[in-house]
Amino acid sequence: MRTFKLQVQTTVDGYMAGPNGEMDWMTFPWTDDISAYIDALTKPVDCIVLGRRLAEGFIPTWAAGPEGEDQESIDWMNDTPKVVISDSLTESPWENATVAGGDLTETVNRLKAQPGGDIITYGGATLAAELIARGLLDELHLFVNPTAIGAGRPVFADTGAHQRLRLVTARPFDCGITALHFEPRRS
């Protein structure tokens, strides 16, 4: 069974975006230590899962080759197959991306049962919250930025029940971000 990972930037007060989706609170530039950590995290990944709203900005941004990103990262983001979770799209408007609708649990379990490497999701907020609430993630990698914004889209929204997690590692980086790696405690 493939490992399904969440990688998300958060504020210290638990938001992954501002009230209107703002991401201007994120810490940049990254330092070499966090870049190496993320490279190791994504090395075994061969599938990216995105919510439709995130995909609409994420996929075109990486296709255009965002300024400040190294070519290896750009190529990895563009070359890695993507699955866009959507009930409103019937086909993908993007290269190297397929659309999956219907029951989220069935979709994720089908992906995890396929042969291949790890799967990673970057969210968005609605998808991340639903994956957490349904217990579909195997690892949560929260990159906590040294900023509080007071309101926004929480990582742990509408979880439906207590989410018991086990801290695997906590690692601070020179840029000020701290990576928290959790695994769900399953009964």
Dump pLDDT digits (tens) for 127-168: 999 999 999 999 999 999 999 999 999 998 877 667 899 999
What pLDDT tens digit does each residue of the chain (187 aa) get?
999 999 999 999 999 999 998 999 999 899 999 999 999 999 999 999 999 999 999 999 999 999 888 899 999 999 999 999 999 998 899 999 999 999 999 999 999 999 999 999 997 888 999 999 999 999 999 999 999 999 999 998 877 667 899 999 999 999 999 999 999 998 6
Structure-token pair, residue 70: 């190294």
Q: Rounded distance, CA 142 to CA 158, Å?
A: 18
- Is there a contact between 181 and 41 (Cβ–Cβ < 8 Å)? no
Instruction: Look up the pTM and report it.
Output: 0.94
Q: Where are the domains positioned within the chain? A: 4-177
Q: What is the pLDDT of residue 158?
A: 76
Residue 140 has a pLDDT of: 97
Distance CA 110, CA 106 (A): 6
Could you give the CA distance from residue 68 to residue 45 in angstroms, rounded to a whole number? 22
* Strand ranges (E), the chain: 4-11, 15-17, 45-51, 82-85, 97-100, 118-123, 139-145, 153-154, 165-172, 178-184
Superfamily of domain 4-177: Dihydrofolate Reductase, subunit A (3.40.430.10)
Quickly tell me which residue has 């509408």 as its tokens.
158
